[in-house]
Amino acid sequence: MALPPFYDKTNLMQTTSEKLFWAALCGAGLLAAQGPRRVRLNEQDVAEGRLVYNRSCTVCHGLDGTVGDRGPALAGARRYLRRTEEDLLDAVRNGIPGAEMPPAGLSAADARKVVAYIRSLRATASDAPAPGDVTHGQEIFWGKGGCGGCHMIRGRGGITGPDLSSVAAQRTLRALREALTVPRPHIPRGYQPVDIVTTGGEIVAGIVKNENNFSMQLLDSSGKLRLFTRDELRQVTYKKDSLMPNDYDRQLISSELQDLLAFLSRQSARKERE
């Protein structure tokens, strides 16, 4: 951040007003960077709110936050004008003037539960973690699920896939579940599986970390980062499927998948408020 115009580096004495101004400016920048304080949602309120929402709100909005015949998706990947608990509660109880949103006619308690559910649809997984046996989910992650072979958590695990130490603060619970159970239409940049044959006859399998018209950087199957120039490559075969399995709903029984989600939804680099 640039120094303000009145700051004289040759004179360390500043007026009280200048100090106050600079402190306020820095404080405002810090608050803006941090964003609004995030509060973990009550799991029971979210679960009960889902039932009330699907019973009372889906005349216009879609089931489970999807788009409806007359109302927008409340869990869509977009920016919302009404984001705080107070704003959402006002919309549910009083409607939105000038729009097609009428008052929901719910009790104060039910309205708050609906708001908790709507917020959970938009929240990261750490704000609304999945129920389940977290300890058992950790055992599934490092054991039967085989997740630790590719993914790292707090310095332990593989490096083929993304580090999951803070995944719950970055992804929604729905996104975590879909990552485990839904095929991905596109392979993310940096994780493209590939087989190459060098001009010297060496066969190497791995994932492309970076590439351009002149070179390719490859993380091979042994975890070694290698760099090849294009004239060193005789053949390059890009694979269609991601290395990330998408059939954990078939690999695991339902309770095991739920416990794995419970474990993943609590992996956040930020310190959780109990």
Whether 169 and 205 share a structural domain: no
Whether 218 and 249 share a structural domain: no
**What is the predicted pLDDT for the residue at 118?**
87
Identify whether 201 is part of a domain. yes
Identify whether 118 is part of a domain. yes
Whether 253 and 224 share a structural domain: no
**What is the predicted pLDDT for the residue at 40?**
66
**Cβ pair 249, 232 in contact under 8 A:** no
Whether 111 and 218 share a structural domain: no
- Please state the domain count of the chain: 3
Identify whether 213 is part of a domain. yes
CA–CA gap between residue 45 and residue 54 (Å, rounded): 14
Instruction: Supply the CATH number for residue 212's domain.
Output: 2.30.30.100
**What is the predicted pLDDT for the residue at 81?**
65
Q: Which residue range forms the structural domain that includes residue 196?
A: 192-238
Whether 98 and 177 share a structural domain: no
Identify whether 230 is part of a domain. yes
CA–CA gap between residue 111 and residue 85 (Å, rounded): 11
Instruction: Supply the CATH number for residue 161's domain.
Output: 1.10.760.10
**What is the predicted pLDDT for the residue at 263?**
98
Which residues are within 8 A (CB) of 75 and not within 5 positions of it... i.e. 6 or more apart? 64, 65, 66, 118, 121, 122, 174
**What is the predicted pLDDT for the residue at 98?**
81
Judged by DSSP in three states, 63 sits in helix
Whether 161 and 260 share a structural domain: yes
* Tens-digit pLDDT string for the chain (274 aa): 444 443 343 343 444 444 443 344 344 343 333 444 455 678 788 889 999 999 999 888 888 888 888 888 887 655 666 767 888 899 898 888 888 888 999 999 999 999 988 888 888 888 878 899 999 999 999 999 999 999 999 999 999 999 999 999 988 888 999 999 999 889 999 999 999 999 999 999 999 999 999 999 999 999 999 999 999 999 999 999 999 999 999 999 999 999 999 999 999 965 444 3
**What is the predicted pLDDT for the residue at 76?**
63
Which residues are within 8 A (CB) of 237 and not within 5 positions of it... i.e. 6 or more apart? 194, 195, 196
Whether 116 and 220 share a structural domain: no
Identify whether 252 is part of a domain. yes
Identify whether 1 is part of a domain. no
**Cβ pair 111, 104 in contact under 8 A:** yes
Whether 179 and 224 share a structural domain: no
Identify whether 129 is part of a domain. no
Identify whether 260 is part of a domain. yes
Give pTM, 2 decimals: 0.65
Whether 55 and 110 share a structural domain: yes
Whether 154 and 252 share a structural domain: yes
Which residues are within 8 A (CB) of 238 and not within 5 positions of it... i.e. 6 or more apart? 192, 193, 194, 208
**What is the predicted pLDDT for the residue at 127?**
81
**What is the predicted pLDDT for the residue at 12?**
39
Whether 249 and 232 share a structural domain: no
**What is the predicted pLDDT for the residue at 165?**
96
Whether 139 and 200 share a structural domain: no
